[in-house]
A and B are shown apart, each in its own frame.
Chain A
Amino acid sequence: MPNQKIYFDHSATAPVDPEVFKAMAPFFSEIFGNASSIHGFGQAAQTAVDEAREAVAEFLGAKTNEVIFTSGATESDNLVILGLAKPGEQIITSKIEHPAILEACREMEKRGAEVTYLGVDAQGLVSLAELQKAIKAETRLVSIMYVNNEIGTIQPIAKIGEMIKELNQTRKEKIYFHTDAVQAANYCEMNVNKLGVDLMSLSAHKIYGPKGIGALYRRSGTPLKPIQFGGHQEAGLRPGTLNVPGIIGLGKAVELISQDKKNLGEIRKLRDYLIEEILKIIPKAQVNGDLKNRAPNNAHFSFYGVEGESLLLLLDQRGIAVSTGSACSSGSLEPSHVLMALGLNPLLAHGSLRITLGKFNTKKEIDRLIEVLPGIVEKLRKMSPLK
């Protein structure tokens, strides 16, 4: 058992589901055609891409021509932020977005757009009232993430969608609503009409699909300019040869989500058990982020008087993979921008640990973590000058 590797970092990436892998396999060497070619090789690929596009459209309750395949959520996010608002217009987003949104917004500020970064409450939730207050005549785009990648909090996307729809009825210039739904796709309502979103970013590798492929949902009529040039693919919005195996993988991955949805209760049960036990066994520990409005696979702890990276490495030596904050920010010295936006004491922010479960995790694996973690926290606390 000690040699058994345990993976608890599904918000960083998830393994490719064997069924997804099986679906993709023929599209490397057998059905390898360029989907843009008119000959048989190309058409075989095109047919498969069409089917995958239908699967994604169905998953979102959208039309097929509203699905744009991209290289992943970073590209989808960039396409929205850089391709919609013009200089002089306003973008509203939150302080706890993924860097793919925040860094693109900073670029838009340089290009003359105004960006408002909404704060969140101590539970990590955006306030509707505050959003409404920030909206003005120049507002062109609202981008709020669906599920936060660090603390797993679920933002009230449907309520925001409803509010924006209502405001749009009396506005001269429409406000478009985007959500980065990367971390939500496994667990939450994804129907774009129920959510009232005009744009939505997706990534395959967080939903047991391959890396390097994602999608952007764009409601018909939403103005968007491409950010790269050189082809007609995806209605000119995302030129470049289609990543056929990746697209097939994404199509299969969204199909599997509806089958897997019945298992969500299991993940939640394991997660709740983990949180309960850890808080019971380890003193001076806390969970960050709202417990109710939260993805069922996310547990995010702070342990007083220890540093997250040290925890991560000692757990790794025992064969358990977790994360501090997010994978993207490891290697940076700053405490997580998400935890700081929550108003967390920097000392606690540095001592944070993210555990994100996946559909293949078992209770036995959770028990192993519960067995190992207290000793590691104690070892590091003994080393610390803070008592």
Chain B
Amino acid sequence: MQYSAEVMKHFTNPHNQGQISDADAIGEVGNPLCGDMMKIYLKVDRLPLAADRLEDKIVDIKFETLGCAAAIACSSILTDMAKGKNLKDAFKIEKSDIVKGLGDLPPVKVHCSILASDGLKLAIKEYLEKQGVLDQYPEIKNLSLPECFHE
């Protein structure tokens, strides 16, 4: 098993690592028993004139991760990708985007990229819920994510 140079770069010097004390939403995924745990913090700019809350923009994003090098690198690149995007576009970030961004991931580590994109999706869901508009987005409301990726 070997990691790409890009994975090692993000793992060694992760971007956007830490907490946001006044976060507008937090997405928490994984389970310490699985060995991976991830927390995604969002600071969102609420556009007063927009009718669709998914147009609100991620102005800051931070992560905390307990896990292997792949889990940390996936968290790091996810925050890079999501920062500055509106929630609609951020919600579309999938594992394949993360894997591509990292140059590649060993097959046994691909679940880390799912964990990262799920963490962001959950944070967006929490944001919509806090805004009291989650019912308008049934697809996001009914999001069901696995607790653990182990078979």
Contact = CB atoms under 8 A, between A and B. Distances in A.
Nearest to B26: A385
8 contacts: A307-B35, A310-B11, A314-B12, A335-B35, A383-B64, A385-B28, A385-B39, A386-B37
Most chain B beta-carbon contacts within 10 A, residue among A314, A350, A383: A383
Interface stretch (B65-73, B126-134, B139-147): B65-73
A335 B72 CA distance: 18
Interface of A: 305-307, 309-310, 313-314, 317, 330-335, 346-347, 350, 380, 383-386
Interface residues of B, number: 29
Given A307-B71, A330-B1, A333-B35, 11 more contacts: A307-B36, A307-B68, A310-B67, A317-B12, A331-B106, A347-B32, A383-B14, A383-B17, A383-B64, A384-B66, A385-B39
Interface in B50-78: 64-69, 71-72
Contact of B67 (A307, A313, A330, A346): A307
Contacts of B1: 330-331
A350 B67 CA distance: 9
A346 B35 contact: yes
Nearest to A350: B35
B38 interface: yes
Contact of A346 (B8, B33, B64): B33
Between A306, A307, A314, A347, the greatest number of chain B beta carbons within 10 A of the residue's beta carbon is seen for A307
B48 to A, nearest CB: 32
Q: Give the dominant DSSP class at A's interface.
A: mixed
Contacts, number: 63
B150 interface: yes
Nearest to B19: A385
B64 A384 contact: yes
B108 interface: yes
A310 B72 contact: yes
Interface in B8-47: 8, 11-12, 14, 17, 28, 32-39
A385 B69 contact: no
- Closest 5 A/B residue pairs (Cβ): A384-B66, A350-B35, A385-B39, A385-B64, A309-B68
A236 B35 CA distance: 47
A332 B111 CA distance: 12
Given A331-B106, A333-B150, A383-B17, A310 B35 contact: no
A385 B67 contact: no
Could you say which of B1, B68, B108 has the most chain A C-beta atoms within 10 Å of its C-beta?
B68
A385 B68 contact: no
Nearest to A324: B68
Q: Which of B14, B39, B69 has the most CB of A within 10 A?
A: B69
Nearest to B39: A385
A383 B35 contact: no
A8 to B, nearest CB: 19
Contacts of B149: 333
Most chain A beta-carbon neighbours within 10 Å: one of B3, B36, B37, B106: B37
B28 to A, nearest CB: 7
B35 A385 contact: no
Contacts of A347: 32-33
A386 B32 contact: yes
B36 to A, nearest CB: 8
A305 B106 CA distance: 24
Nearest to B12: A317
B65 A384 contact: yes
A331 B17 contact: no
Contacts of A331: 1, 106, 108
B66 A386 contact: yes
Nearest to B38: A385
Interface in B70-97: 71-72
Contacts of B106: 331
Nearest to B151: A333
Nearest to A347: B32
Contacts of A330: 1
A320 to B, nearest CB: 15
A346 B34 CA distance: 8
Nearest to A381: B66
A209 B79 CA distance: 48
A317 to B, nearest CB: 7
Nearest to B33: A346
Contacts of A314: 12
A380 B69 CA distance: 10
A267 B28 CA distance: 45
Contacts of B3: 313
B37 A384 contact: yes
Contacts of B65: 383-385
A347 B35 CA distance: 6
A132 B69 CA distance: 45
